[in-house]
Amino acid sequence: MISFVLGVEDLTDTRFAISPLCAVMGSLRALRAPALYPLHVRWRASVLRTLDPADLRLLSALVGDTLALPDFLSPRPTAFAPAIEDELAVVRATPVEVVRRDLYAAHAPRPLPDALRQAAAPGDPDVLELVDRLCSLLRRYWESALLPHWPRIRLLLEADITHRARQLATGGARLLFAELHPNLRWRDGVLTIDRMIGHHRVDGSGRGLRLVPSLFAHKPAPPISAEEPPMLDYPGRGAATLWEPEPTPDTSALGSLLGAPRTTVLRLLAEPLPTVELARRLGVTPSAVSQHLRVLHATGLVTRVRDGRRVLYRRSPLGEQLASG
């Protein structure tokens, strides 16, 4: 059991984040223990077909027998959605003693696997070389295994965060943590994560809590080390829909009213989506999608909000009624 003692300042600084590197590391668990991730079986098979055997050995060595991961390879996000390059830069700057600590902790009580034997070397250069190799490998793995699916993964994670933020606003921390996972308990300012191998208590000390949703998490996963600030990867909503086939054009009465293209756009907007993602799913140009969105927005069937440089569209209540009918 691991506990986070969270004061008022910690709750004030409780934030959500989307982390590409946390997604990368979580997906390694799915490669290692497919029985725990039945939704990702087809994705796993396609990734294994493309991975170099030597790369797979090193990636597999990062996951302990208990599915523990080295903390330094999942740094606490300092922004809402950091780029993976920025996260890998943090990894490269990890002190050598922390790298050793985290690798040994992930594999305890067993020794380090042969693929990580450089971490046991007495000199710092060997460990620094290993970290550099890991960062390069994780970058290649990200580009081949997750980047092609990242737009949809990110939108599902954003939808999860929107849902959780609404829970926090309406029911406070108690409702938020109660709904995140059955292994979490919130009482008297302490967040407890049950069914953990580690047993320690971490004082937030005003450092806040980072909540990172993941579609590759089967249960909440805090850092292994008691020295790390409070952070929690948790199972995000929507994993079951990640690999669903794209919808086919509608031919019902709604299609007769709006036309097949606009009906398909309306049905896709059950989740917030930008123009470029709609265009990708429909196999058309963004300008063609923009024309349909202008009509749907002008008639009150969709709403739009700005998210940084992107504009996200979603069905309005009226659009929901038409789509569900």
3-class SS at 42?
Answer: helix
Q: What is the mean pLDDT of residues 135-163?
A: 93
For residue 195, what pLDDT band results from cuts at 50, 70 and 90?
confident
Q: Does the structure show a pLDDT above 80 at 61?
A: yes
For position 121, what pLDDT does the model report?
A: 83
Q: Does the structure show a pLDDT above 90 at 23?
A: yes
Task: Please give the DSSP secondary-structure letter assigned to residue 109.
Answer: T
Contact of 19 with 236, CB cutoff 8 Å = no
Contact of 160 with 238, CB cutoff 8 Å = yes
3-class SS at 206?
Answer: coil
Lowest mean pLDDT among 22-26, 81-85, 267-271: 267-271
For residue 134, what pLDDT band results from cuts at 50, 70 and 90?
very high
Contact of 14 with 211, CB cutoff 8 Å = yes
At 211-238, the pLDDT tens digits run 999 999 999 999 999 999 999 999 999 8
For position 248, what pLDDT does the model report?
A: 52
Cα dihedral 162, 151, 293, 259 in deg (nearest 10) = -110
Residues of the chain above pLDDT 70, percent? 96
Task: Please give the DSSP secondary-structure letter assigned to residue 187.
Answer: E
Contact of 39 with 47, CB cutoff 8 Å = no
Q: Does the structure show a pLDDT above 50 at 244?
A: yes
What's the CA gap between 11 and 176, in Å, rounded? 12
What's the CA gap between 176 and 268, in Å, rounded? 28
For position 168, what pLDDT does the model report?
A: 87
Task: Please give the DSSP secondary-structure letter assigned to residue 142.
Answer: I
What's the CA gap between 87 and 93, in Å, rounded? 10
For residue 246, what pLDDT band results from cuts at 50, 70 and 90?
low
Q: Whose structure tokens read 């087809």?
A: 42
For residue 251, what pLDDT band results from cuts at 50, 70 and 90?
very low
For position 303, what pLDDT does the model report?
A: 92
Residue 55 burial by CB count (10 A; 0-12/13-18/19+): exposed, middle or buried? middle
Higher-confidence residue of 60 and 249: namely: 60
What's the CA gap between 228 and 75, in Å, rounded? 10
For residue 98, what pLDDT band results from cuts at 50, 70 and 90?
very high
Q: What is the mean pLDDT of residues 14-19?
A: 95
Pairing mode, if any, of strands 302-307 and 310-315?
A: antiparallel
Which of 103, 26, 95, 106 has its CA nearest to residue 66? 106
What's the CA gap between 78 and 89, in Å, rounded? 13
Ranges in the chain annotated CATH 1.10.10.10: 253-324
Q: Does the structure show a pLDDT above 50 at 113?
A: yes
CATH topology of domain 253-324: Arc Repressor Mutant, subunit A (1.10.10)
Q: Does the structure show a pLDDT above 70 at 306?
A: yes
DSSP states of 263-280: HHHHHHTTS-EEHHHHHH
CA 159 to chain centre: 12
Q: What is the mean pLDDT of residues 187-192?
A: 92
For residue 247, what pLDDT band results from cuts at 50, 70 and 90?
low
